[in-house]
Amino acid sequence: MLEFLQGFAYGLFVTCLPWFLIGMASPRHALATPLPDRLQVIVRYWLLVPFIAFVLWLTSLWGGFGPSLLGWLAGLAAIAIELPLERRLRRWWGARKQRRREAQRHAEAAQKQARQAREASETGMFTLDPERPPAGADEVVLALCVAKQRLVDARQPEIAVQADRLYSRYRHAMQVLLARFDASELAFERSRTLVAEVCFTAVDNLTVMASQASGIAGVDAEFVRRRLAEEHERLTVAERVALKRRLALVEETEHHLRDLSARNEAALTALDDAAVAMARIETGRPQASVSAEQALKDLRHFVGRAERYGRDR
C-alpha cells in the first residue's frame, strides 16, 4: 500500500506541470468549474494538487520498498479521470439545485395563487373588466377600470386586485344607500358624494402606483440579486455599483408601493365602516303601533284573562 501511495504521489506531481500549461492555454480543458479562469488553474495545479502529492509522499515514507509501477500509472491518470467525474458531479449537483429552485418557485406560485384567490373572494365575486365596464357604470367605476388597466400594463396583477376590492366595497355601499334613503333625498346625495370621494382618493393612489411600477417594469430584481451574490468576486467596481443602484431603485419603488397600498387598505376600511353605519340607520316607518315590551305585556295579560274565562265556565 505504501509503495502504491509513493508511486501515486510521484505520478500526480509529474502531471501538475502539463495540466498547468494546458489550463493556462485553455482553462476549460483543465478545470471542471462552470466559469473556469486562469486564476483557478494556478490555485489548483500550482498549489492544491502539488500539496496533495506532497502529503501522499510524506505518508508513504513510513515504510515500503520504493514506488510501485501501478501507483505511478494511477498518479499519471488521476487528473484525466477526475475531471470528467467532477464535471458529471457538478452537473448532477446543479440539476439538483435547479430542481429545488423550480420546486420553490412552484410553491411560491401556488401560495401567490392562493393569496390572490383569497383576495378575489373578498371582492364578493365582483371583478372589473377594463375593456368591458359594467352597464351603467358611473365615473367612479370607469376610473377604477382605467386604473386597473394601467396596473395590468405595468405587470402588477397583485395591486390590480385592489381595484376589484374597491369596486366591490363601492357597489355594496351604494346598495346600502339605496336601501336606506331615497335617491331624491339630500342625505343620499351627500353620502354618495363622500363615498365617491373616498374611492377617487384610492383611484389616485392606484394611478400613482401604476406610474411608479411602470418605471421598474424592465428591471429584473431577482436577476440583479443573483448576479450580485454569485458573481460578486468577478464584478468590477463600476458593475457592482450599477447593480446595487438598480436594486436600490427597485426596493425604493416597492417601499412606495407598499405605502400607497396601505392607504388604499385604509380607504377600504372607511367604506366598510360607512356601509355598516348606514345599515344601522332606520329610516322606514315602524309597522308596530306599540313597543315590543308593551306588546308582550298585553299578550300575557290577555292569556291570563283567557285562562280565567275558561275556569269560570
- Containing structural domain, residue 26: 2-103
Q: What is the mean pLDDT of the chain?
A: 78
307 pLDDT exceeds 80?
A: no
- Say what percent of the chain tops pLDDT 70: 79
Q: Are residues 261 and 152 in the same domain?
A: yes
Whether this prediction's pTM lies above 0.85 is answered by no
Please report which confidence band the pLDDT of residue 123 belongs to, taking 50, 70 and 90 as the band edges: very low
Quick: pLDDT tens for 128-154: 788 888 887 888 888 888 888 888 888
Average pLDDT on 226-251 reads 71
Residues 72 and 134 in one domain: no
If asked whether residues 184 and 265 sit together in one domain, one would say yes
Q: What is the DSSP string of 265-286?
A: HHHHHHHHHHHHHHHT---SPP
Task: Compute how many other C-beta atoms are within 10 angstroms of the C-beta atom of residue 193.
Answer: 9
Whether residue 203 sits in one domain with residue 62? no
Q: What own/partner pairs with CB < 8 Å and gap ≥ 24 does 26-30 have? A: 30/83
Question: Which is nearest to 8 in space by CA: 85, 82, 62, 78?
Answer: 78
Maximum mean pLDDT: which of 79-83, 113-117, 245-249:
79-83
Quote the number of domains for the chain: 2
Write the pLDDT tens digit of every residue in 182-203. Answer: 777 787 788 888 888 888 888 8
Judged against a pLDDT cut of 60, whether residue 230 lies above it is answered with yes
64 lies in the same domain as 185 = no
| Residue 7 and residue 75 in contact, taking contact as beta carbons nearer than 8 Å | yes
